[in-house]
Structures are given as structure tokens and as C-alpha cells.
Amino acid sequence: MPISMHREWMKPSSRLFAATLVAVTTPVLPTTALADDWSGLEDVHLDVISRTAEERERVSAVTSMPQDFSEPWAFEENSAGAQTVRLRQTADAFSQPAANLSFEQELDFRVGNGMFKRIWVSAPASTLASDGLGPLFNARSCQRCHLKDGRGHPPEGPEDTAVSTFLRISVRAPDMAEVERYIAGTHPTAPDPVYGTQLQDFSLPGHTPEYRLQVQYEEIEVPLSGGEVARLRQPLYSATELGYGPLHAEAMLSPRVAPQMIGMGLLEAVPTQDILEWADPEDANGDGISGRAQVVWSEVHDRPVLGRFGHKAGNPSILEQTASAFAGDIGISNPIHRAGSGECTDAQTDCAAALHGGDPEQDGLEIDQAGLDLVTFYSRTLGVPARRDVDDPQVLRGREVFFDTGCASCHRPNYVTHRLDGENPASFQLIWPYTDMLLHDMGSGLADHRPEGRADGREWRTAPLWGIGLTETVSGHTQFLHDGRARSLLEAVLWHGGEAETAKAKVVAMHPDDRKALIRFLESL
């Protein structure tokens, strides 16, 4: 098996690392802009204990390129290391606390789960701890989008709501010199002056929702080897029934389906250096894969850090991802996003002037730091179910096809997380998430033509694959990709283009039995 197909497995190049840090794809800005000073990319959100030389050798050995595909690999069934939980063949498969939590941590998990499920109501209300919803919102709780901590789906037909799907919106920044906290390589954008950064399709009484999401599909046939034919859905999204006038003339829209929640704390604990060393923005090794790092501004640490979470890796940490979801999705003020009116803009005067649920005992906020931390802890410590059928011959063959085809070039199988101070359950775990957490050009078929940070309109973060075979069990459907267009894992593979075009072509041309084995392997994750 050519080593080039596996990104020169765990053989970092300091030259590639340097190229990642200085890549600039936008015009030169004033000296106040952050240019190529990436000193903030250390893991400032974690209490890290530096690895010893002996530990570095152990990590290199355990994550080295596998040679034998005839049997399961050591610890492969434990996708999340010591956080792996026993498989449940029920809708609760993604809702278990990580297996290595202490008794006290499990109590925090349970309280955080309660807040994750909390139904928020409008202010003023007798339930002071739960008021402050909206006035504009996409859902009334975290659970409404991430039902059973699983994957959302686009609306199916006119009677289905888009509660787990919404449209991001932005416009090109009118003057790049005025963009605050500019990061080199970023595509400067700004919120829509009326509709903000995302469109909300629900509102409190007396307020008008921003829009209604409509999706239409055109079916595309894809001939496969062996006389098989796949049928893909090409979606067309539209924002109808606009409540506050037309969108900006240059508005850029992009659909987002709520992703599954498992294993996030482990992804947060992967060393930044390990992710950056996998990047190859100039494709120096000639394998056709050019993973690039997303770099975003951390509101908490007031510096640029590596982006890890979201479909385009637009958030640096689970805390900041959680805070932005509270503000944008539910309209709940918090220590990072303090506006009581949530995502309302200055142009939406009635919305901005509405009563909010700020509580003096919570620093005038609708959820305070303690509450935000509990929901963050819950999101950080959801366990990953154990792998299934790791010794099944068809699964083993599918795993080999996965590597031979080049899928592992972006869906990097494993890492060892940081050794962390304190009682962090993510500390020093061998994990198998199957993602490099980098940005990749996925081709015109998946392009949303909307940049986000350093990601352009064709780039997406490699999605983790752990747990993907349990989607139907947990979420009741098999709809994948950032907008749920794919109705099966095979359809999701066939939508891959750009850097993944060669791998996709191999899947189209391979023997049908190998294609079935590949899907069987993915279903075992």
C-alpha cells in the first residue's frame, strides 16, 4: 500500500507546518492586522502537561501506520479510549456519560444534561431561571436541535419544521481595513445589516419570524460499477416569507444541520501541533490532498487559536461553541454574548427593545457562567459508543478498502490526546475519531459559496466518523453531510469532490462487493 496514500502517516514536516502558519490569500492589510504572528495557536484552553520524550515515542508508535489489515488493531474497538461507553442499541446510544467520569463529574454531567434539555420561555415569567427566550430563535432548547445528542435533518415536506436546520448569512465586508481582529488568510465578511449572522424561523408573540426555510431537490443519477445506479439529491434552498424586508443584495446563505454531539471533549484535547503537522496547504507530498488549518479569534482568550468545531471549524472551543449557540439559536444572553435580545440587529428595533430575562443574581444574564459551564461540561463528556463487529471479515475488508481508496488521507483515524492537569477525563487517551479537523476543498457539488474565516466557499472541516453507523438508531434517519442532502452513507461518499474526487472515482469503479464492504466498515464505526 503506497505510503503517500496515507499522508506520510505521522511524519510531520516542519516546512509544511510553517507554510500553514503564513498562508495569506487576501490583500495586505494595515499593520494593525494580525499577519503571520501565530503565537496564539498554543492550546490556551487546556491545562497541558508537556509530553516527555518517552511519551512522544509511545504516541508515535501507537499512532503509526498500520501494516496488517487482516485482524482488528489494538484498542480499535474503544473509539474514545477510557471514555468509550457500552453500546446501547437504542435512541440513548449517544446520551451516556463518558465511562471514566468520577462520581462528582457524573453529577455535573446530569445537571448539565438537565440544562441542555431545558425549555426556555419568554420573559417575564415566574420561572426566572428559564426565561429570556428569543425574541427571535431557531429552537427553545439545545435538545430540540440535537435530539438525543444526535444529528439533525432538513425539513421533509411543507409540514415539517426546520428546527434542526437553519441558514447562515453574511455579506462581504465593505472595508477590510475596518475588520476587527483580522487574521491572515481570512475572507473578510460581515453580518447582514438586517438579519445578522443566521436566520431565525421562530419568534415570540408580537414579533415576526425572520423567514421560512424551503428546500427543493433535483435528483441526479450516478452510474456505478456492476450495473448499479445511485441517485443523489441536489438541494436548492430558499429563504421565503422574509419578515424584515429583502436580504442584502450580496447576502451569502449556507444551510447548517445540527451535528451529533459525542466525543467533543476528546477532539478539544487533541494537541494543536498534531493537527497542524497533518496540514499540507501546498500539497507538497503530491497526493492531491491540501488540508488547511482554520484559525479563528477566541473571545475568551482574546487571541487567535485553531478552529475545531462547526462545519467549517469556525469555533475554537466547546465553551465558545455553546455560548454562540445559546445566543444565536435560542436568544439567550451569556457571559460571552451578553445581549439580552440575542441575535437581533439594530435594524430590528422592536426585537432589540423587547423585555429580556436577565437576572440580577446571574450578573444580569439569562444564563450565567456556572450554567454555561455545566452545559459545556455535558457537551464535553458525552461518551462514544464502542465499535461493533471489529473482527467481522466484511468490516475488515471494508477498513482495508477505506485506506486503499485514500479516505484516511482526510479522515485521519487516531490521535493521543494531551496529558492534562487536574481530573480532566480527556487526558492522554488513544482515540479513533476519523477526522483531521482541517479544511478541505470538497468540490463544486458541495460548495456553499460562502466563506467563513479562512475557509472559502468550497472548503469544509473533515467531519468525525465515530458513531456514524448509529445515526438511524439515535436520530431515526440516515441523512448526512452539512445539509442532510445524502440519504445514505454511499450518497455521502458520492457527493465528495475536489480533493476527494480521486477517492470517489475509485469508489464508483470498484467491485460492488468492495463498495459494500466499505459501507459496512463505516456502519461499524
Closest residue by Cα to residue 25 from 170, 176, 169: 176
Range of the domain at 209: 3-524
Strands (DSSP E) contained in 210-357 are 212-223, 229-240, 252-257, 295-298, 303-306
pLDDT tens digits in sequence order for the chain, 525 residues long: 333 333 333 333 322 222 222 222 222 333 333 434 454 577 888 899 999 999 999 999 999 888 899 999 999 999 999 999 999 999 999 999 999 999 999 999 999 999 999 999 999 887 778 899 999 999 999 999 999 999 999 998 777 777 899 999 999 987 666 666 778 888 889 999 999 999 999 999 999 999 999 999 999 999 999 999 999 999 999 999 999 999 999 999 999 999 999 999 999 999 999 999 999 999 999 999 999 999 999 999 999 999 999 999 999 999 999 999 999 999 999 999 999 999 999 999 999 999 888 878 788 899 999 999 999 999 999 999 999 999 999 999 999 999 999 999 999 999 999 999 889 999 999 999 999 999 999 999 999 999 999 999 999 999 999 999 999 999 999 999 999 999 999 999 999 999 999 999 999 999 999 999 999 999 999
Taking CA atoms, 86 is separated from 82, 205, 208, 501, in Å, by 11, 44, 46, 36
CA distance 257 to 273: 29
99-118 residues labelled b (16+ CB within 10 A) or e (exposed):
bbbeeebeebbebbbebbeb
Question: Is 232 in contact with 219 (CB distance < 8 Å)?
Answer: yes
| First-to-last C-alpha distance (Å) of the chain | 23
Helix, strand, coil percentages in the chain from 3-state DSSP, rounded to 5:
30, 15, 55
Question: Is 417 in contact with 427 (CB distance < 8 Å)?
Answer: yes
CB neighbours (10 Å) of residue 26?
Answer: 17
DSSP annotation of 408 reads: G
Torsion sign across C-alpha atoms 27, 30, 33, 39: positive
Q: Into how many domains does the chain fold?
A: 1
Q: How far is CA 120 from the centre of its chain?
A: 24
Residue 249, C-beta contacts closer than 8 angstroms, at least 6 positions apart: none
CA distance 414 to 435: 8
Helix (H) or strand (E) holding 430: strand 430-431
Torsion sign across C-alpha atoms 233, 236, 241, 244: positive
Closest residue by Cα to residue 39 from 306, 271, 270: 306
